[in-house]
Structure 1
Amino acid sequence: MKKIMPILLGLLLLVVSIYFFMPVLSFKFIQLPLILLGVLFIFLITTFVGVKQPEDIGIKQKIASGLFIIMLAYILIAFIGSSSFFTWKTKLKELNIKEISSFDESVPNVDMQNLVILDEEDARRASEKLITEKDPSMGSLFQIGEGTLSVVNDKPYWVFPLEYRGFFKWISNRGEIPGFLKVSATNFNEAEFVSYQFAVSPTGYFSDDLKRSLYFKYAQYGLTDFSFEVDDEGKGYWVVTAYTHDTWISTMKVTGTIIVDPVTKASTFYPVNEQPKWVDRVYSMETFNAQLDWYGRYVNGWWNPSDEGKLTDTDGKGYVFKDGEIYFYTGLTSVGKDSATTGFVIYNPRTGEAYYNRISGSIEQKAVGLMEELVQNAGYKASYPYLLNINGEATYFSTLKGNSGNVVGYAFASVQNYKAVAWGKTLREAQTEYNRALLREGGTNALSDQTLDLKKEKGTISRIGTLTEGYYIIKLENDDMLYVVNSEEFPMVSLSQSGDQVTISHLKIDGTGKVDAIEYINHSIK
């Protein structure tokens, strides 16, 4: 019995370590070699007790000693082989980046109907309010999990799963998470609590622990980015990124996604680019950060003491809604951390493809400062901006928030023209003022050709009505275009009526049936 006790103790330690620490069972990760090294070390200590002479060393001790030395050597070699000196070329190539010259190609002209205006903080506040209205006691039992910006039926939504609020709440409510929250990213008034009882969650325990429920089936992979997404039928799933390493125990490489049914706990692995179309995030924001860091650091090789040509991101990541998909974006600047960008990287989290558009201009933090200067008397704060394309002009867009955290206005700032910045209490007012600022200051792209060439329409009003508070919509005879006029800027519009002769100036914009008036003159009112 004494002879097999060390073996049983070693096996017990190994099983306990695997169950509780869930190490990746692959030598491309450091956890497994370290655990095996620890188990062998304890085995050697217990078996060498009582050994006084070299001839007393048995075959078990010799094998264990040999395995210990091999494992220790592997760990040392793996650490050395994983250093940037040996891996920088591989790391540099991890970002599948393509340089493009046209901003219109990287970021399409903005669709104001699908403009993402709610950030995660706004959507979370709406979710908390929704839970309180549905059941005041729900918030004490469950917490709102991490939000995922997803596309559901071609519209962007923030999706928040409910999760267990601690061990004792899990014991009393296991298997009874009541649902998830879906908040429109484009409309403050569209939020929904989806009743959908499920069990598995990142905050669950034992079999209800999401990672543990996957571990013994996918133990050869590293698991990360446990995001909750909704398919086009409205059913929620956990989407987990599976990865391995490209260089010994470093250089994360995504291999696929694991989709988990939170009700049945059934899971399916999909290799990269074979996942269902509704999955929005295969590559996490953390993966993007790492790949971008490698790209900027090693763009001119490993040995670059002068930092020539090195790039870094602008200390923030945002989103772009493009072609019905959510993209990550960030500005790039030199490692000197000046206030100007060298361009933008747009990253597709479904495919891992990146597009680098070289545009010099202000970084996001500079633009936020310019926006807040406009409203400094009110003390409003601008959110981290989204990147938009407004008629060819690279533009930052932010919501403005008061002391309570509620959105009180909207702001636009040109990336390249520091003077072209504007805000408004409504989205339409802010966009109209921004168009005026671009015309006044001279846009750098499509709008620069329109500075002295506004399109003027002179005609007779056939119909006039109220669009929203403070805005009128006008149709001219023999003209299919609808013109939106701000009554605060042009008070005469509130006195206008059918049959009046008017002149309306606007930007030359193709492919739309509605346009904002930059100038409005009613010739019939004397």
Structure 2
Amino acid sequence: MLKNYTEKTSVAKTIIALIVVAILEFIAFYILLPPLNIHDIGSWIFQGFFVLLFLIATFFCSKENNIEQLSVTIVSKIVTAVIAIGVVVVVIGGLTSLEIFNASRYSSLIKVKECKFEDEIAQTDTVNDIALMDTKSARVVGERAIGSLSDLVSQYVINQDYNQIDYNGQPKKVATLEYADFFKWFNNRKNGIPGYVLVDPVEFEAEYIKLDKPIKYTSSARFNDKLQRKLRFEYPTAIFEGYYFELDNDGNPYYICPTLTAKIGLFGGKDVKGVVIFDPCTGKSKYYDVKNVPQWVDRIYDGDLATRKFDWYGTLSDGFINSIIGQKDCKITTEDYGYKVMDDDVWIYTGVTSVIDDSSNIGFVMINARTGETRYFKAAGAEEFSAMDAAEGQVQNLGYKASFPAIINIGGEPTYFMVLKDKSNLVKQYALVNVKKYSIVATGTTQRDTLSSYNKLMKENNLGNKQAIDDMNNDLPNINIRVTDVEYITTDGETYVYISDENNNVYKELFAEDESLIFIKPGAQITIYYEEDKKDGKKNADESQSTTDGESQENGLDNAKYDSQNIKTIVKWKAQGE
């Protein structure tokens, strides 16, 4: 009888141990939110830990409390077998996922189309409509958008991960508001998050958008209102790659949440399988296969994932051994990447360099962030960081730092275009650097001035399509005027010529860019080819981002007497009749 009682007690303790471990696992799952998916190594570790914990618990529930007694129990045998099987599966699954056994499969995860630069990248006739603002600068501009709204500033902060989107054909950066801390969430959880910040990276402007229906689910919310927890309980097996805040064509907010699966072995070659589109206002979501994602969605492939897939292609196409020994034709992407809006989509772009010599690029790659389409362009020259150093060298006395550049086509020449920022991440100047010959560097306080300087440098060095460069200027608007006044104004060490006509219009040009301006006198009849300043980085980069830290608003090109004028930038001029 005593024996039967002891056995029943042992069984009861085992059941209690199982319940306790199950409760602990649920609590851990609620906090850590791991995917319950065999293709995720973290899931195996998570489950294995609690199986091992249960095995240890059954040891203390055994009759004699020793390992010999435990080993003969049915429960211990089952648990031990489960652990052994799990270890075998993970080891074999890991080995069959290695690149050494699957080089061709890894390299074929993407299809790369080799393209000609001048055929695929449209020639840039003006640089005033190119998005150059990086995330750090977007944060500065975005903070200004809500800085005067005291009810928002005291309760919310802007999410620091500004997402690049194509919004009805225009490049934009967008970020939602977040709760500042736990107590701000607790006090505002019923009202939710009222809106988001939309930044124009071309005009260097930001606006706060108030929503008709507030956002309930977000990363900064707690308990069941947390975005990741809401999605995990709806999609417990999904391996989420990220949670990207985007807008549809009507400005409604959504989180775009790509899901991954292993394409090689048990764990290897993870790639996008589908996308969950989640409405943070209502909590409703819908899963889409990767081929059926709506057109307005911009980001399915993260930059890290996209460049990693290209690196597999670039290094493993000729086999694993070649990627280690010899490394013939092996190429990889450079350390960073940017985003470019093109063809109504967002494209990830980065340089491509040889694994043997990474001091220069052999080309660059563009990957569609929605479809995964990959285009490779051969364009030997400076890699991005060398170009950034070259641009910074032009303004080393000012201590400005270059942002990661955009790649554009000027006169048929691949060209890096970037902004130069001060320590406060305010844009101060622009820079253009030739990819093939990065000693050709043009900087300026406006985009127009920078382009004008660059075109002159290209002509001097016999680079690019001269006719295409001339056509840039000839296609610009022009006007015949009679000069009434000429003034030379120096600001920040740069001298600008301001020309007024009989209709009180004002035209300006950097004197160093065209010293022939000195021949223009009052009364002269001239033809001016010009460009409006209203889209030239909002007159200039400084003016668009002044007012922060108490900076003067008169910090760039325009003298105070001209602040209210619609000033046009002179591209070139000639005497009438020439």
Q: With the length of structure 2 as denominator, give the TM-score of the two structures.
A: 0.78
Aligned residues: 499
Corresponding residue number in structure 2 for 1:480 = none
| Amino acid aligned to 2:419 | T
Compute the displacement of 1:121 (Å): 1.4
2:298 aligned with 1:280, yes or no? yes
Supply the distance in 1 between the matched residues of 2:70 and 2:420 (Cα, whole angstroms): 80
Secondary structure of the residue that 2:389 maps to in structure 1? helix
Supply the distance in 2 between the matched residues of 1:15 and 1:402 (Cα, whole angstroms): 49
**Pick from 147, 168, 178: which aligns with 1:153?**
168
Secondary structure of the residue that 1:361 maps to in structure 2? strand
**Pick from 89, 96, 99: which aligns with 2:114?**
99
Supply the distance in 2 between the matched residues of 1:436 and 1:392 (Cα, whole angstroms): 15
2:193 aligned with 1:177, yes or no? yes
Corresponding residue number in structure 2 for 1:446 = 465
Compute the displacement of 1:333 (Å): 1.0
**Pick from 201, 223, 231: which aligns with 2:218?**
201
Secondary structure of the residue that 2:262 maps to in structure 1? strand
Corresponding residue number in structure 2 for 1:479 = none
**Pick from 399, 417, 422: which aligns with 1:379?**
399
Corresponding residue number in structure 1 for 2:509 = 486
Compute the displacement of 1:293 (Å): 2.7
Secondary structure of the residue that 2:293 maps to in structure 1? coil
2:372 aligned with 1:352, yes or no? yes
**Pick from 75, 78, 85: which aligns with 2:90?**
75
Give the direction of change, closer, same or farther, for the CA distance of 1:291–1:493 in structure 2 (3 Å limit): farther
| Amino acid aligned to 2:509 | N
2:270 aligned with 1:252, yes or no? yes
Give the direction of change, closer, same or farther, for the CA distance of 1:141–1:504 in structure 2 (3 Å limit): closer
Supply the distance in 2 between the matched residues of 1:40 and 1:78 (Cα, whole angstroms): 19
Contact 2:480 2:526 in 1 (8 A): no
Supply the distance in 1 between the matched residues of 2:437 and 2:200 (Cα, whole angstroms): 31
Secondary structure of the residue that 2:291 maps to in structure 1? coil
The more displaced of 329-338 and 12-21 is 12-21
Supply the distance in 1 between the matched residues of 2:117 and 2:283 (Cα, whole angstroms): 43
Contact 2:482 2:526 in 1 (8 A): no
Contact 1:487 1:494 in 2 (8 A): no
Corresponding residue number in structure 1 for 2:26 = 15
Compute the displacement of 1:456 (Å): 8.3
Supply the distance in 1 between the matched residues of 2:471 and 2:206 (Cα, whole angstroms): 43
| Amino acid aligned to 1:282 | I
Gaps of 5+ in 1: 475-483, 506-514
Compute the displacement of 1:140 (Å): 5.4
| Amino acid aligned to 1:127 | G
Compute the displacement of 1:201 (Å): 0.9
| Amino acid aligned to 1:336 | I
Supply the distance in 1 between the matched residues of 2:47 and 2:471 (Cα, whole angstroms): 74
Contact 1:184 1:191 in 2 (8 A): yes
2:413 aligned with 1:396, yes or no? no
Compute the displacement of 1:501 (Å): 6.3
Supply the distance in 1 between the matched residues of 2:499 and 2:320 (Cα, whole angstroms): 61
Within 5 Å, give how 1:458-477 maps onto structure 2: 462=480
Contact 1:146 1:161 in 2 (8 A): no
Secondary structure of the residue that 1:366 maps to in structure 2? helix
**Pick from 386, 390, 400: which aligns with 1:370?**
390
| Amino acid aligned to 2:289 | P
Corresponding residue number in structure 2 for 1:90 = 105
Supply the distance in 2 between the matched residues of 1:518 and 1:320 (Cα, whole angstroms): 27
Contact 1:331 1:341 in 2 (8 A): yes
Give the direction of change, closer, same or farther, for the CA distance of 1:3–1:408 in structure 2 (3 Å limit): closer
Compute the displacement of 1:22 (Å): 2.0
Contact 1:198 1:262 in 2 (8 A): yes
Supply the distance in 2 between the matched residues of 1:61 and 1:287 (Cα, whole angstroms): 42
Give the direction of change, closer, same or farther, for the CA distance of 1:485–1:524 in structure 2 (3 Å limit): farther
Contact 1:472 1:493 in 2 (8 A): no
* CA deviation vs aligned residue, 1:342-368 (integer Å, no higher than 9, x gap): 100011101111111111011111111
Supply the distance in 2 between the matched residues of 1:338 and 1:9 (Cα, whole angstroms): 55
Corresponding residue number in structure 1 for 2:243 = 226
Give the direction of change, closer, same or farther, for the CA distance of 1:521–1:256 in structure 2 (3 Å limit): same
Compute the displacement of 1:136 (Å): 6.8
| Amino acid aligned to 2:361 | T
**Pick from 103, 114, 128: which aligns with 2:143?**
128
Contact 2:347 2:369 in 1 (8 A): yes
Secondary structure of the residue that 2:456 maps to in structure 1? helix
Supply the distance in 1 between the matched residues of 2:333 and 2:181 (Cα, whole angstroms): 36
Supply the distance in 1 between the matched residues of 2:451 and 2:268 (Cα, whole angstroms): 46
Contact 1:126 1:183 in 2 (8 A): yes
* CA deviation vs aligned residue, 1:294-328 (integer Å, no higher than 9, x gap): 22332331113233322222222122232232211
Compute the displacement of 1:432 (Å): 1.0
Secondary structure of the residue that 2:171 maps to in structure 1? strand
2:180 aligned with 1:165, yes or no? yes
Secondary structure of the residue that 1:43 maps to in structure 2? helix
Supply the distance in 2 between the matched residues of 1:328 and 1:56 (Cα, whole angstroms): 56
| Amino acid aligned to 1:233 | D
Give the direction of change, closer, same or farther, for the CA distance of 1:97–1:379 in structure 2 (3 Å limit): same
Point out the structure with the larger helix share: 2
Give the direction of change, closer, same or farther, for the CA distance of 1:56–1:353 in structure 2 (3 Å limit): closer
Corresponding residue number in structure 2 for 1:478 = none
Identity of aligned residues (%): 28
The more displaced of 77-86 and 224-233 is 77-86
Compute the displacement of 1:491 (Å): 2.7
Contact 1:201 1:208 in 2 (8 A): yes
Supply the distance in 2 between the matched residues of 1:392 and 1:313 (Cα, whole angstroms): 23
The more displaced of 348-357 and 35-44 is 35-44
Secondary structure of the residue that 1:273 maps to in structure 2? helix
Secondary structure of the residue that 2:148 maps to in structure 1? helix
Contact 2:156 2:177 in 1 (8 A): no
| Amino acid aligned to 2:179 | Y
| Amino acid aligned to 1:491 | L
Contact 1:228 1:237 in 2 (8 A): yes
Corresponding residue number in structure 2 for 1:300 = 318
Corresponding residue number in structure 1 for 2:338 = 318
Give the direction of change, closer, same or farther, for the CA distance of 1:257–1:455 in structure 2 (3 Å limit): closer
Give the direction of change, closer, same or farther, for the CA distance of 1:181–1:455 in structure 2 (3 Å limit): closer
* CA deviation vs aligned residue, 1:95-154 (integer Å, no higher than 9, x gap): 331112x10233222364531122211111011112112227615543433100111111
| Amino acid aligned to 1:199 | K
Give the direction of change, closer, same or farther, for the CA distance of 1:143–1:298 in structure 2 (3 Å limit): same
Contact 1:485 1:516 in 2 (8 A): yes
Q: With the length of structure 1 as denominator, give the TM-score of the two structures.
A: 0.85
* CA deviation vs aligned residue, 1:191-230 (integer Å, no higher than 9, x gap): 1101122121112222111111011221222112211111
- Give RMSD over aligned pairs: 3.3
